[in-house]
Structure 1
Amino acid sequence: MTGLAGLSLIVELLRIYSPAFRHRFIRLLSPLLKEKERGGNLTGATYLFISFLIVFLVFPFKIFFYASLIAILVDGITPLLTAFLFNKNSKDHTHFFVFFIAAVVVAFIINSGLSIWVKLSGSVLIAVLEYLDFPPDDNFWAELGGALIIYILTHII
C-alpha cells in the first residue's frame, strides 16, 4: 500500500512540476480524467491509493478488505452500469441506486467475515456517502468513509 501511495504521489509531483511529463500524462490518460484532474488537481487514483494506505494502517484487515472491494468493484462498475443501462454519465439518483444495488450484490456474494446486516447497512450508508460527493474526492471517501462506516456498524450491530 505504501508503494502504491508513494508511486502515485511521485507521478502527481512529476505532473505538477514537469511540463513535458504533464503533456504526456494528459495526452495518454485524458479520456479517463475528470475535468478538475486535467486542470491540475490530484487524480482520483491518487486519492484512492492514499485512502487505501490509511485504511490498511488503521482498521482491521476484514474491514480494509471489504471497504476495498466496495471502493474498487462497486465504485468502479457503477458508472459503467449507469451509462450502459440508463445512458447517463452523471452522479444523480440513478447512480445512487445502481451503486446501492451493486453494493448489496457484493454483500451477498463476498464472505468477508462481517455480518450480513453490517454489509447491508453499510451498503446504504456508503451509497449515501458516494452520492453526497464530499471533498477532496469521492474516491478518497469511497474507501476511507466506507471503512469508517463499516467499523462503526460492527460495533453497534
Structure 2
Amino acid sequence: MSTTSVASVEPTPLAEPSVDLPLDPGLSRHFTQCLAEHAEQDREVAATGDDADTKAARRERLRFVLTQIHAADTGAELPAPILAQVVVVLRDNSIRYCFYTLSTGPRARICQRFWTRLVTAIPAPQRAQTAMLLAVTAYTGGDTALATRRSGSR
C-alpha cells in the first residue's frame, strides 16, 4: 500500500484593509447606558420559546428594526435609545438571521450604511453581531476591504 504525503501550506496573511470604523465615544457612552436600561428586554428575548405569542413578538421586533433602517435611510438621526433597542432585538438569532437575507437584495446598501452606523456607536463586545451583519453585507456587495476590517474595541 502506498502512502501519499500531503504538503502543508501556510495561509497567506491578508493585508490590513484601509477602512477605518472609529468608535464614536460620546454616542458609545450614551449607548452603554441605554443598553443597561434595555437589559430586561434582553433577558426576555433570551428566554423566549416558539409559541404563537413569541412568534408575533418576533415579527413586531423585526418590523421595528426594518422601520429604523428605513428611517435612517430617509435621513433621520436615530437617538441612542433606539440604537440600543435595535441591538437588543438583533441578539435574537431568529431575527438577526432574517437580516442576512437583505445582504444580497436591493436594500443591501441601505442596510450596510445602517450596520456601519451601529458598529460605530456600539462598544465592544456588543458590536460583534452587528459587525458580522456589516461584514456579510459588505462582502456580498463586493466591498472586501470593509468586510475584512477588524473591528477593535476602541
User: TM-score range, shorter-chain basis?
Assistant: under 0.3
> Could you say which structure has the larger radius of gyration?
2
Q: Which TM-score applies when normalising by structure 2?
A: 0.27
Q: Which TM-score applies when normalising by structure 1?
A: 0.27
Which structure would you say has the larger RCO, counting Cα contacts within 8 Å and 6 or more residues apart? 2
